[in-house]
Amino acid sequence: MSKFQMPQHVIDRVMEKRGRLNVFESFEPEKTALLIVDMQNFFVDGVQPCLDVMPNINRLAEVVRRSGGLVVWVVLTVAETEDGPSLWPVYHDNFFTEAKMQAHKKGLTRGSPGHEIHADMDVHDDDVISEKTRFSALVQGASDLHEQLQARGIENVLIGGTLTNMCCESTARDAMMIGYRAIMVEDCNASRNEEDHAAGLTSVYQSFCDVRSTDDVIENVLVAKNAATAAE
């Protein structure tokens, strides 16, 4: 797994704008959800960068659970049945060849093998499974995730999964826009190549969320409120 480095020109721009590298120093674990986006067979099988981040995702998920936070597995569903209509016709009708559209629809139909979360993902019975029908997990009308998070008192979201520059980036943008404090966990996200991965992270870092590593989040961000107060 390659080590991402934020470009210096982006760091310079961020420091000029806000005067600090990280917007959020710590999250109260009980008010934090880890959103694991689209780690489904259709996206993950045979894509090495996606396979490479699985251990970090599982490790962070376990820490979030132990600290009292919520783990959410977000899955993309584009059709309810293989021969049924697309749940996202403007996308399927305009951004694919016919063959590619059929493959995408078949692979992400509810109940298909491609729709399932990859077997190497450590899903627990008390985790939440949330379906979405758009790139972002927080688009109104395309998912009930926002309502589920609000019902549980969630204020902070950690974002991992695939693809960094598509569904994960879209989710991070919408999270901030509707009032969540967000961090994209760099080495829990993956794209098909390093360039796409970097593009997604450098874009959201400037105005939408922090970008931090798994180790950094575990050691420095997920800090109980009483511990953070005692350390001051």
Question: Could you give the CA distance from residue 157 to residue 150 in angstroms, rounded to a whole number?
Answer: 12
- According to the model, what pLDDT value does residue 45 have? 96
- According to the model, what pLDDT value does residue 82 have? 86
**Boundaries of domain holding 73:** 8-231
pLDDT tens digits for range 5-28: 999 999 999 999 999 999 999 999
Specify if 52 maps to a domain: yes
Q: What sign does the CA torsion over 97, 98, 99, 102 have?
A: positive
Specify if 61 maps to a domain: yes
Specify if 1 maps to a domain: no
The larger pLDDT score, comparing residue 188 to residue 228, is at 188
- The SS3 of residue 24 is coil
Specify if 2 maps to a domain: no
For the chain, how many structural domains are there in total?
1
Question: Could you give the CA distance from residue 157 to residue 180 in angstroms, rounded to a whole number?
Answer: 7
Question: Could you give the CA distance from residue 28 to residue 135 in angstroms, rounded to a whole number?
Answer: 27
Banded model confidence at residue 3, pLDDT cuts 50, 70, 90: confident
- According to the model, what pLDDT value does residue 121 have? 98
pLDDT tens digits for range 141-176: 999 999 999 999 999 999 999 999 999 999 999 999
Q: Please tell me the pTM assigned to this model.
A: 0.94
Specify if 116 maps to a domain: yes
Query: The domain that contains 112 carries what CATH number?
Result: 3.40.50.850
Pairing of strands 32-37, 70-76: parallel
> Which residues are within 8 A (CB) of 3 and not within 5 positions of it... i.e. 6 or more apart?
none
Specify if 130 maps to a domain: yes
Segment among 3-7, 72-76, 177-181, 226-230 with least mean pLDDT: 226-230
The tokens describing 94, both together, are 């305009």
In terms of Cβ atoms closer than 10 Å to its own Cβ (0-12, 13-18, 19+), residue 29 is buried
Specify if 69 maps to a domain: yes
Specify if 222 maps to a domain: yes
- According to the model, what pLDDT value does residue 226 have? 43
